[in-house]
Amino acid sequence: MTCPACDHYVTIEDWNDDEPFNCPNCNTLLKLVTDEGGYRGASEKSLEIQEED
Ligand SMILES: [Zn+2]
């Protein structure tokens, strides 16, 4: 999985953890999101930049 902000590789330790975390390279706050819109039974995971309030 690559960071959408800096394109550096980010290791996902827990694919079920949707708590935002900071990219170790660029420190951007990221969140692992699940896209349920794919095939039946399949879900795509992606990293999104989490905007801070
Ligand atoms: Zn990054």
Q: What does the pLDDT read at residue 42?
A: 73
- The pLDDT profile of the chain, 53 residues, written as one tens digit per residue, is 999 999 999 999 898 888 999 999 999 999 999 887 766 777 788 999 998 77
In the reported structure, the alpha carbon of residue 36 is separated from the centroid of ligand 1 by a whole-number distance in angstroms of: 24
pTM score: 0.79
Q: What does the pLDDT read at residue 43?
A: 78
CB proximity list for 15: less than 8 A, separation 6 or greater: 32, 45
Cα–Cα distance, 53 to 24 (Å, whole number):
21
In the reported structure, the alpha carbon of residue 45 is separated from the centroid of ligand 1 by a whole-number distance in angstroms of: 17
- What residue segments make up the domains of the chain, in order of their start? 1-44
In the reported structure, the alpha carbon of residue 51 is separated from the centroid of ligand 1 by a whole-number distance in angstroms of: 14
CA 50 to chain centre: 9
